[in-house]
């Protein structure tokens, strides 16, 4: 058992460190290739272009090595030994360091790559827009780090235990069922209690001082025992009959992958728009990358933190709403309209259900 935990820990550490290094290497290597191409297009010899290329690549290696030895490895050691960040119930320091040390440099070099090509006056067919591999790799590595951080406290074999629910994995849907007592049942219960108390007092079994207490206890047991027993939770899962029973198979550890990918679809789409030629040759590329990076900061908060919903609205939906309105007004339908509707409806629903329903006008059950 101990060797299995060590293997899982080592595997997770290797995957997280790879997610930290690989995007930086790929993005900076593409930037170095663009510098090399621009120098050749400007008439410089191959030696100078190759020198600039290898200097940039060597700088990326030196950066990753320094970050790993000075920040990443010491922080991992302190967290493992619980010497630091021991009380991190509401936020995740690993994700904070990753967003700062890996995602931020990648976004910076993506913008720098576009600026170098624009300022060099290259022909349009020579542009490297960096739309697919680097951008997808950066976001995918971010998702992998998030998945690994959530699965760290879970077993990879066997069935999932209830103690593993604090890893940010969504729990099954539960329904609270209550039995409403009838008026006749309450009257009959009270009559029986009064009759029993009178009979006990007549026989001299209880005194006048203890009869009310006994009546109160009896009422609390008889009047609310069925209510308490019926106030239980039942899962509302439906099991298909026959050969389709296997479709009801469900494990929250598998659902966490879906949750992490869906969580970033909006940001992925907006970053993709920045790679379009008509967009990255304009000044719109800066607000797109800036607000996309700001939206990534939600990753620092744990999934069950109550402020995550507000952060999603204020760090993503509101800025993305205005960005998409501006992009559609200037460039046309470069971004799908469904994402615009998503940002608008999420923002309106958040304002209505959290604030407007508390007003006197909407705080009533007579209308709807």
Predicted pLDDT at 356: 84
Q: How far apart are CA 266 and CA 55, in angstroms?
A: 36
206 and 164 belong to one structural domain:
no
Domain count, the chain: 2
Same domain, 149 and 225: no
Of the candidates 282, 330, 275, the one whose C-alpha atom is nearest the C-alpha of residue 127 is 275
> Could you tell me if 206 and 200 are in contact, meaning their C-beta atoms sit under 8 angstroms apart?
yes
Which has the minimum average pLDDT: 117-126, 159-168, 302-311, 346-355?
159-168
Same domain, 78 and 54: yes
225: pLDDT strictly greater than 60: no
b/e map 144-172, b = 16+ CB within 10 Å: bbbbbbbbeebeeeeeeeeeebebbbeee
Q: 101 and 219 share a domain?
A: no
Task: Determine the Cα angle at 27 with ends 25 and 33, to 5°.
Answer: 100
- Specify whether the CB–CB gap between 284 and 327 falls below 8 A: yes
Residue 212, CA distances (Å) to 87, 200, 208 in order: 50, 12, 8
Average pLDDT over residues 342-364: 84
pLDDT of residue 108: 92
C-alpha 321/C-alpha 44 separation (Å) is 45
Residues 166 and 196 in one domain: no
How far separated are the first and last CA of the chain, in Å rounded? Answer: 57
Give me the domain span that covers residue 275: 2-170+248-304
Q: What single-letter DSSP state applies at residue 87?
A: -
Residue 210 has pLDDT above 50, yes or no: no
Note the pLDDT tens digit of each residue in 17-38.
999 999 999 999 989 988 888 8
Given 261, 285, 304, the domain boundary residue is 304
pLDDT value at residue 217: 44
In a domain, 338, yes or no: no
What pLDDT is attached to residue 118?
Answer: 79
Q: What percent of the chain has pLDDT over 90?
A: 24
58 in the same domain as 21: yes
């Amino acid at each position: 058992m101990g060797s299995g935990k060590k293997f899982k820990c080592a595997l997770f550490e290797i995957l997280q460190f790879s997610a930290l290094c690989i995007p930086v290497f790929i993005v900076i290597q593409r930037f170095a290739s663009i510098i090399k191409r621009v120098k050749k297009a400007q008439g410089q010899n191959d030696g100078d272009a190759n020198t600039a290329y290898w200097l940039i690549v060597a700088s990326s290696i030196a950066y990753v090595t320094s970050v790993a030895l000075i920040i990443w490895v010491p922080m991992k050691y302190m967290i493992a030994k619980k010497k630091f960040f021991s009380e991190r119930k509401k936020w995740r320091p690993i994700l904070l360091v990753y967003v700062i040390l890996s995602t931020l440099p990648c976004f910076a070099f993506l913008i720098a790559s576009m600026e170098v090509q624009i300022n060099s006056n290259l022909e349009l067919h020579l542009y490297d827009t960096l739309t697919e591999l680097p951008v997808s790799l950066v976001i995918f590595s971010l998702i992998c780090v998030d998945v690994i951080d959530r699965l760290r406290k879970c077993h990879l074999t066997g069935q999932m235990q209830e103690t593993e629910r604090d890893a940010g994995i969504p729990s099954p849907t539960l329904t609270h069922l209550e039995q409403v007592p009838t008026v006749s049942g309450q009257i009959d219960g009270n009559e029986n209690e009064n009759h029993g108390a009178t009979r006990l007092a007549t026989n001299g079994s209880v005194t006048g001082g203890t009869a009310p207490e006994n009546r109160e206890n009896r009422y609390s047991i008889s009047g609310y025992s069925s209510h308490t027993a019926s106030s239980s939770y039942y899962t509302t899962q439906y099991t298909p009959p026959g050969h389709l029973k296997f479709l009801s198979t469900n494990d929250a550890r598998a659902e966490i992958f879906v949750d992490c990918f869906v969580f970033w679809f909006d940001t992925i789409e907006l970053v993709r728009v920045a790679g379009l030629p008509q967009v990255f040759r304009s000044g719109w590329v800066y607000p797109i990358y800036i607000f996309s990076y700001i939206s990534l900061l939600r990753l620092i908060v744990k999934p069950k933190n109550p402020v995550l919903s507000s952060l999603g609205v204020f760090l993503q939906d509101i800025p993305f709403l205005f960005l998409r309105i501006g992009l559609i007004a200037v460039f046309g339908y470069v971004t799908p309209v469904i994402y615009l509707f998503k940002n608008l409806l999420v923002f309106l629903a958040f304002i209505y259900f959290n604030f407007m329903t508390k007003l006197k006008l909407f705080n009533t059950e007579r209308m709807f």
